[in-house]
Amino acid sequence: MSPIHSVHGFSNALDDIKISWLLLKSNWKAFIATELFALFSMTIVAFLIASIYFAIGYIIPLSPLFLDSSSPQEKRGIFFFSFAIIFFLSFLNCQYGLAYDIISSGDMFSEFKSSFTYFKRNWLPYSLLPFLLGWLHSLFQGTRIIWFILIEDMTNIRVEIEEFDVFPSLIFGYLFFVLLISTLPSITAQSGNSTIGRIKQGFIENFRLVKRKPRRLFFTWGLFYLIFNLPSTIISLFILLFYDSLIGSIWLLFIFFVYTLLLLIGLLIGTPISTLISTRIYSDAKLKGELDDQLKNNSDINNNSSKEVA
């Protein structure tokens, strides 16, 4: 890639983030309300599930649910509480609906109540896609451990997987994010298809966008990761490396405070900005016809050429 293309790609990435930030400033109430409602709803759902879970264990102590030694109680609890996480992710991703309303409307405005409309229409793909992203990321775990073993064999240096796991996780998380994130704006923009049809079309348009706009995607999301993900990743690595020496120190409390603050910034600001960025990139490509089937594009070009000759 030439330096001119690199500068142009960085300039476009900066514009994507700056414009998305301005749009968020104009519509922050709708996004924050959606996030707070998602957190509140997850808390309520988790409380109800916990109440039922422990009530069953108290009333029916001999239930196989609690006596099955093949599945530890902690894992069963995680399984049941995952339903609360599903609800949280579903409603949180309704921000893609807000972003779509903002990008596609002339007044660049959206309201919190629109989240309920998109939740009713797309709750299943809004919850499945984040889990798919996490599952694909987990496939990398075994490969990463093999690399650590090779490093130990070649250097005779003991490698702590917990410490060196941080940056590979960030890199591969970034790759999977870039390769799949455009699926959600595509699903949100569709209205006529069935749920399965929207998911299928979402993946088709997502990979067309990756194929035809790779530079914009990688530059924009690279800059986004540098701003919202890299700082917390560096702090995570710092804690892993120096935790023992920091125990009992006021600095450890300060570091955890900064880390928590960065996570909140990522949730309250980074998440809505990411929905606006991905929706903006998708809508721009859709408007230019860059997500249409290639055969259809070739047919249109031939028809236009025939008209010009005539």
| Span 210-269, pLDDT tens digits | 999 999 999 999 999 999 988 888 887 787 778 778 787 888 888 889 989 998 999 999
Say yes or no to pLDDT of 137 above 70.
Answer: no
* pLDDT at site 19: 95
Position 12 confidence tier, pLDDT thresholds 50, 70, 90: confident
Euclidean distance between CA atoms 278 and 263, whole angstroms: 20
3-state secondary structure of 291: coil
Euclidean distance between CA atoms 166 and 163, whole angstroms: 6
Chain CA centroid to CA 48, Å: 27
What is the rounded average pLDDT of the residues 144-169?
A: 52
- 151 or 13: which carries more pLDDT confidence? 13
Closest alpha carbon to 228 in 280, 265, 276 = 265
Averaged pLDDT of the chain = 78
Residues 179 and 210 sit within 8 Å (Cβ to Cβ): yes
Residues 35-64 have pLDDT tens digits of 999 999 989 988 888 787 777 665 544 444
Euclidean distance between CA atoms 28 and 31, whole angstroms: 5
Closest alpha carbon to 136 in 82, 93, 92, 174 = 174
Least confident of 90-99, 103-112, 137-146, 208-217: 137-146
Say yes or no to pLDDT of 135 above 90.
Answer: no
Position 1 confidence tier, pLDDT thresholds 50, 70, 90: low
* pLDDT at site 310: 41
Token pair listed for 139: 């496939």
Position 192 confidence tier, pLDDT thresholds 50, 70, 90: confident
Position 118 confidence tier, pLDDT thresholds 50, 70, 90: very high
Euclidean distance between CA atoms 89 and 35, whole angstroms: 10
